[in-house]
Amino acid sequence: MDLIPLYVSLKLSIATTAILTVLAAPLAYGLAFLKFPGKSFIEALINLPMALPPTVMGFYLLVIMGPKGVVGRLWESMTGGSLLFTFLGIAAASAVCSLPFALQPMKAAFQKIDRRLLENAYVLGLSRTEAFFRVIIPNSLSGIAAAAILVFLHSMGAFGIILMVGGSVPGETKVAAIAIYEAVESMNYREAGLMSLCLVPVSYIFLLIVNKLNREES
Amino acid sequence: MALRVCIKKKLNYFDLDINFSCFPEELLAMIGPSGSGKTSIIRMIAGLETPDEGRISYRDEVWFDSSQKIYVAPQKRRLGYVFQDYTLFPHLTLRENAAFATRDLKRADDLLEMFGISHLRDRKPNRVSGGERQRCAICQALARNPRALLLDEPFSALDFMNRRKLREDVKLLRDEMTFPIIYVTHDIQEAFSLADEILPVVEGKIDKGWLQRSISSTPSTGAPAKAAHATWLTLAL
């Protein structure tokens, strides 16, 4: 069995989880606590990847990240290379598509925090940022962990979007899901079966952990 | 020198319109029926709500002034505020809670000692009793040397014995501290045993007669008074 696609998948999941755990927390804070015009439009926009077919998302990301797209051009002027068909490219695409999966549990965890705890923190002299790190984050750890696991699993299973943005470059963008699809196409059922079997227990165990976290929360 | 409050705010069921001062070394008990606006007043002093108009000042600092458009954030008022129900941070031990807003760990430890909970300092709030939690909340508020202390029915959720013990603690506190203390309660006995000054608040306004009406056992007017009088006459005859 070729282990490299599994390794690429793992690397992609870890990268996406790391990016999103840091990025989604302040976004979730904004959606949970701040009032600003157009909030529901922004929230719906962020959640759009959850409702669109991955190929549609992949198509738009391909256009945006391509040599004529805004992000693609910016990237090229900065690094001289292309973002498409690279690991960085699929990591960015995967982060965009998994963002709703990080945002929802975090936002729910933040909203569950008693407002009076925050008021007490403000009266005790903490700024909003300090209260975020010293009160909100430590009291939403299980929500954050749930978000991280969901993102990890979702990026493990990403297929359409990776194929659109990354193609199938071995060792770079050929993730397990794509390798399984290609193995089936070339009638190599043994290879496809083995690789599939590797993914099932990982996903199952992580989902059990999410359940446990949810139970602890309630 | 005093904490001066002169504020108006439209609330859901009535208009709050109140004017009072609280001097250093004085304990002002704000008393009145539930839902009379006491907590709103405290929240406005703390800066968690803003009045529609008026002015709140302490010494020479103005915290709120509607005519000059001044509003000082709660963070900058340096007040101690003990809430009605438990607002200790659940992820921290009692010691970490007491020292939450100060770098002076010794001060936090001394306060825990003074309030008789230093043996519980490594426990989380959910592993101690309600009375111990509120004691710790007072330690937390005092540890950063506040300029005034606001206590909003701090013991209302506690049983009788615990309340009596904590009331004694507040008495000691009152004698030791040099800042103004505002104590909100709906318990007349508590107000009388603690306060230097009593401020009865009914529907958002000062109502000096409320206290008299609440504690007098003989009805002064109306049919019950007449009946009482008549019985007495019958007996005398």
Which CATH number do you get for residue A47?
A: 1.10.3720.10
pLDDT tens, position by position, A193-208: 999 999 999 889 988 9
Interface contact flag, B46 A138, Cβ < 8 Å: no
Mean pLDDT for the stretch of residues A209-215: 85
Question: By percentage, how much of chain A surpasses pLDDT 90?
Answer: 86
Centre a 10 Å sphere on the Cβ of residue A159 and count the other Cβ atoms it contains.
16
CB atoms within 10 A of CB B223: 8
Q: In this model, does residue B227 exceed pLDDT 70?
A: no
Quick one: pLDDT at residue B160? 83
A164 CB-near residues (< 8 Å, 6+ apart): A54, A55, A58, A59, A61, A62, A93
pLDDT of residue B217: 54
| β-strand partners of B5 | B20, B56
3-state secondary structure of A73: helix
Q: Reduced to 3 states, what is the DSSP secondary structure of residue B30? A: strand
Pairing, β B70-71 against β B15-22: unpaired
| Kind of pairing between the strands at B15-22 and B197-202 | unpaired
B228 has pLDDT over 80? no
Model confidence at B187, pLDDT cuts 50, 70, 90, reads confident
Q: What is the mean pLDDT of residues A9-37?
A: 94
Q: pLDDT for B27-67, tens place per residue?
A: 999 998 888 899 999 999 999 999 999 999 999 899 999 99
**Considering chain B, what is the average pLDDT of its residues?**
86
What does the H/E/C string look like for A159-182? CHHHHHHHCCCCCCCCCHHHHHHH
Residue to mutate among A114, A119, A123, A126, with most B CBs inside 10 A, is A123
Q: How many domains does chain A have?
A: 1
Spatial neighbors of A34 by CB under 8 A, at least 6 apart, are none
Residue indicated by tokens 């009482």: B228
pLDDT at B157 (0 to 100): 78
Indicate yes or no: CB of B89 within 8 angstroms of CB of A124.
no
User: Does the structure show a pLDDT above 50 at B237?
Assistant: no
Q: Which of these ranges, A78-87, B159-168, B179-188, has the smallest mean pLDDT?
A: B159-168
Average pLDDT over residues B162-171: 86
Task: Provide ipTM, 2 decimals.
Answer: 0.86
Which domains, and CATH codes, for chain B?
3-79+184-236 (3.40.50.300)
Give the model's pLDDT for residue B225: 44
Beta pairing class for B27-31 and B181-185: parallel
How confident is the model at residue B62, as a pLDDT? 94
The side-by-side arrangement of strands in the sheet containing B15-22 is B15-22, B3-10, B53-58, B61-65, B70-71
Chain B CB within 8 Å of residue A139 CB: yes
- Predicted local distance difference test score (pLDDT) of residue B34: 86
| Structural domain boundaries enclosing A60 | 4-217
pLDDT on residue B236: 38
Percent of chain B with pLDDT over 70: 91
Confidence label for B233 from pLDDT (cuts 50, 70 and 90): very low
Find the closest chain A residue to B137 by CA distance.
A120
pLDDT at B221: 53
What gap in Å lies between CA A128 and CA A62, rounded to an integer?
Answer: 38
Interface of B with A (CB under 8 A): 46-48, 73-79, 81, 83, 85, 87, 89-91, 100-101, 140-141, 144
**How many other CB atoms are there within 10 angstroms of residue B133's CB atom?**
21
**Chain B: residue whose CA lies nearest to A137:** B91
Q: Count CB neighbours of B99 within 10 A.
A: 24
What confidence score (pLDDT) does residue B216 get?
67
pLDDT of B183 above 50? yes
Instruction: Tell me which residue in A117, A125, A139 faces B78 most closely, judged by beta carbons.
Output: A125
**B60-106 tens-digit pLDDT:** 899 999 999 999 999 999 999 998 887 899 999 999 999 999 988 99
**Contact state of B74 with A119 under an 8 Å Cβ cutoff:** yes
What pLDDT is recorded for position B178? 87
Phi, psi angles (nearest 5°) of residue B66: -70, -30
Output DSSP code: residue B196.
Answer: S
- pLDDT of residue A100 exceeding 60, the answer is yes
Tell me what the mean pLDDT of segment A147-172 comes to: 92
Are A75 and A65 in contact by the 8 Å Cβ rule? The answer is: yes
